[in-house]
Amino acid sequence: MNKVIVLDRDGVINVDLMTYVTKPEDFEFIEGSIEAISLLQNSGFTIAIATNQACIEKKIIDDRQLKVVHDFMNLKLAVHGSTIDCIAYCPHDPDSKCACRKPEVGLLVEIEKKLGVSLEGSFFVGDKETDIMAANNYNCVPLLVKTGYGMQTLSSANCPPANHCFENLFNASKFIVSTIEK
């Protein structure tokens, strides 16, 4: 089993503002997501984030400001003994038609290079159809959470089977950990 877990950020780890998280004070963890990341790391998993952040190309924030948000997230996780091992983000607007914006797989290629591992067979937890599509496009195992846009994604053509759909990241994490206990 692959011990790297890929997570989307907005709507999975933190509350999706339906706009952009541009500063630390806007970053609010979804209930149970800190505990979920701790559970996964304590079970030996490496945690990576693959997130679309068009706010950069739209000039709402820059790379440095996004790093401040991610540093804040990791600081809060560190209090609980956890961290995100790798963060890959797409800075492009959807109209750019880049190779990194999910459902394209460029972010997954970047994570593989940074971590020096294959992501094939890794769990990829997301709330949007584009997350599920990226997972499928890269031979990852998609898991859907019903937080963020997850409830809308339940009716999409690419929705995973019901046994791969969870109320939140904590429940998805318990499922992931159960797969290694067998």
Residue extents of the structural domains in the chain? 4-180
Ramachandran quadrant class, 127 (left: phi over 0; alpha: psi -120 to 50; beta: rest): alpha
Architecture of domain 4-180: 3-Layer(aba) Sandwich (3.40)
Q: Is the dihedral of CA 146, 11, 106, 178 positive or negative?
A: negative
Taking the C-alpha atoms of residue 32 and residue 82, their distance in angstroms, rounded to an integer, is 13
For residue 31, pLDDT over 80 is answered with yes
pLDDT per residue as tens digits for the range 36-46: 999 999 999 99
The pLDDT, as a whole number, for residue 18 is 83
Q: Is the dihedral of CA 4, 137, 151, 101 positive or negative?
A: positive
The pLDDT, as a whole number, for residue 36 is 98
The pLDDT, as a whole number, for residue 71 is 97
Taking the C-alpha atoms of residue 73 and residue 93, their distance in angstroms, rounded to an integer, is 23
Sheet with 123-126, strands from edge to edge, namely 86-90, 46-52, 4-7, 123-126, 141-145, 165-166
For the residues 111-121, what does the mean pLDDT come to? 96
pLDDT per residue as tens digits for the range 65-99: 999 999 999 999 999 999 999 999 999 999 999 99
Rounded percentage of the chain residues whose pLDDT exceeds 70: 98
Q: Which of 65, 69, 51, 14 has the alpha carbon at shortest distance from 36? A: 14
3-state SS assignment for residue 46: strand
Confidence of residue 136 (pLDDT cuts 50, 70, 90): very high
For residue 2, pLDDT over 80 is answered with no
Taking the C-alpha atoms of residue 142 and residue 126, their distance in angstroms, rounded to an integer, is 7
Confidence of residue 181 (pLDDT cuts 50, 70, 90): low
Taking the C-alpha atoms of residue 10 and residue 147, their distance in angstroms, rounded to an integer, is 9
Confidence of residue 24 (pLDDT cuts 50, 70, 90): very high
Q: At a CB cut-off of 8 Å and minimum separation 6, what does 152 contact? A: none
Q: Which residues are catalytic?
A: 8, 10
**Tokens of residue 37, six digits:** 């990341």
pTM above 0.75, yes or no: yes
Q: At a CB cut-off of 8 Å and minimum separation 6, what does 144 contact? A: 125, 126, 127, 131, 132, 150, 153, 154, 159, 160, 164, 165, 166
